[in-house]
Amino acid sequence: MFKLQILNKLRFANVFILLLIVFVSCALLICINFFTIKILSANRAYVNGESHYSKGQKDASRHLITYLYTADQKQWKLYLEELKVPQGDGIARKTMLKAGDNEDARKGFLVGRNHKDDLDDLVWLFENFKEVPFLAKAIHEWEQGDKLIFELFVIGQQINAKIEKNQLTPEIQQKFLQKISDISDKLTINERNFSNTLGEGTRKIKGLLMATNIIFILIIVCSVCLYYTIMVKRLIVSKKEIEVKNENLTLVNHELDRFVYSASHDLRSPITSLKGLIEITQLEDDPNQIKKYLQLMHQSLAKQDQFINDIIDYSKNKRAQVIMEPVSLQELFDEAIAQLMHIENANRIIFTKQLLVDEIQSDSLRLKIIIFNLISNAIKYADSSKQEMFISIKTYLIDGFSSIEVADNGIGINDEYKDNIFEMYFGTNKNKGSGLGLYIVKEAVENIKGNISVSSKSNIGSKFTVTIPHAYGI
């Protein structure tokens, strides 16, 4: 029972661990996917922002070149308007590096024509991953681009000053045009590097996400499969246990029906006999005859008392929990013999004891039932026709087991009865016993994981041998 409880606890622990693995894996998978999607969304927002950055720079360069050759104030205003786009992103970058997330940074992103719904992702990615290699490299490219934007701004101011002072010459125009073209070329490379870096980071994140998803999905699938395997096995085992319990219950019910029927008969029989003897005694005047009737009453009551004791032993053996403790066999034998000396012919029997084993670890209640019934049977079925009657009691060790041997030279057991003597209510002589004794002995022996055997010859004697393990679990 103890081992079964441990196994059940281990099974429950294993199932609980599997369920915990599944729940933790699912939770981690959800978190990883959530943050990965958030990172990818922020990357997408940065790539989209880079397109506005690049377009704003190119449009600003185009308007500045047009202004350089036409001196059209409308083109100057358009140049300044378009240049605000990359300048706004630059303000956001500088502000977040210095002060983190604040209103100025968000305004800068809005000036850079980033969508307002992307602001949280843009700021979150910058704040939490600016040290990550791929984003740090992208931010560096961004910084280099802002420097070039500032150079473009300075060139624009110089061109505007020359136009206002009417100092432009074809040579100066050509120099400014070359500078604008050089800056645009550098910015194109810079912007391409920025996009490529983010794209490379996105691909790496995607690959890691795929690998992580596959790993966690495999963990979840394996855990679920293992969980269902354990549950199916447990259902199969439970089904088998229920079938065995049903079979045992059927046997127990059959045994109980038989016990109730026989017990009611055996309990009523002595009472009926007593009532008859009392009625006869009331009509009798002869003291000697009355004495004989009283003796018969005493025998009937003794039989009734023995039967009740057997029923009590039967109940204790069925219900009482096995308790392992030190037990003295010497004391149990002495107690049993002392209590059974009232049985007929007991005082004529010679008891011999050879106890090579005294104290053992076992259940005292079951051992008392076993020893009491074996000695009681040996006394009841003694052969009074023999000049010398004896009961030999031995204890010894054999193959790691403690053995108890009770032998006698009584009337013995006929061969035809040997296979049935341990059955309930089987008795070779109903006048001497209830038929429960050896049945109770066998159950008591089995309860302490022991074994019982008998060898007997009619008119020569019987020998019962009980072997008991040193430890209950053996």
Give the residue extent of every domain in the chain.
Answer: 2-231, 323-469
Range in 65-69, 263-267, 286-290 with the lowest mean pLDDT: 263-267
CATH entry, 323-469, from 3.30.565.10, 3.40.50.720, 3.90.25.10, 3.40.50.1000: 3.30.565.10
How far is the CA of 264 from the CAs of 250, 254, 260, 311, 369, in angstroms? 21, 16, 6, 12, 23
> First-to-last CA distance in the chain?
13
Residue 167 binned pLDDT confidence (cut-offs 50, 70, 90)? confident
- Reported as a pLDDT band with limits 50, 70 and 90, residue 429 is low
Query: What pLDDT, in 10s, does the model give residues 27-55?
Result: 887 888 787 788 888 888 888 888 999 99
**Whether pLDDT at 296 is above 90:** no
Residue 58 has pLDDT above 90, yes or no: yes
pLDDT tens digits for range 333-363: 998 898 888 888 888 899 999 998 888 888 8
pLDDT, averaged across the chain? 82
CB 391 within 8 Å of CB 378? yes
Using pLDDT thresholds of 50, 70 and 90, give the confidence band for residue 287: confident
pLDDT at 112 over 70: yes
pLDDT digits (tens, 9 = 90+) for 68-89: 899 899 999 999 999 999 999 9
Residues 169-195: tens digit of each pLDDT: 889 999 999 999 999 999 899 888 888
152, exposed or middle or buried, with CB in 10 Å at 0-12, 13-18, 19+?
buried
pLDDT recorded at residue 226:
77
Interacting residues of 450 by C-beta distance below 8 A, sequence separation 6+: 466, 467, 468, 469
Residue 295 has pLDDT above 50, yes or no: yes
pLDDT value at position 283? 72
Percent of the chain predicted with pLDDT > 90: 25
* DSSP sequence for 377-423: HHHHT--TTSS-EEEEEEEEEETTEEEEEEEE-SS---GGGTTTTTS
Q: What is the pLDDT of residue 394?
A: 93
pLDDT at 2: 43
Q: Indicate the pLDDT class of residue 470, thresholds 50, 70 and 90.
A: low
Range 108-126 average pLDDT = 90
The tens digit of pLDDT for each residue in 223-246 reads: 778 777 877 787 888 888 888 888
The C-alpha atoms of residue 178 and residue 374 are separated, in whole angstroms, by 122
pLDDT at 177: 92
Residue 356: which H helix or E strand, with range? none
Least confident window among 42-51, 311-320, 389-398, 404-413:
311-320
Q: Is 131 within 8 Å of 118 (Cβ atoms)?
A: no
Average pLDDT over residues 3-26: 63
| Between 420 and 314, the higher pLDDT residue | 420
pTM of the model: 0.50
The rounded Cα 82 to chain-centroid distance in angstroms is 66
Span of 388-392, 396-400, 451-455 with lowest mean pLDDT: 396-400
Judge residue 187's burial from the number of C-beta atoms within 10 Å of its C-beta, 0-12 exposed, 13-18 middle, 19 or more buried. Answer: buried
Alpha helix ranges (H) inside 284-328: 287-319
Three-state secondary structure string covering 106-154:
HHHHHHCCCCHHHHHHHHHHHHHHCCCHHHHHHHHHHHHHHHHHHHHHH
Mean pLDDT of all residues in 278-304: 73
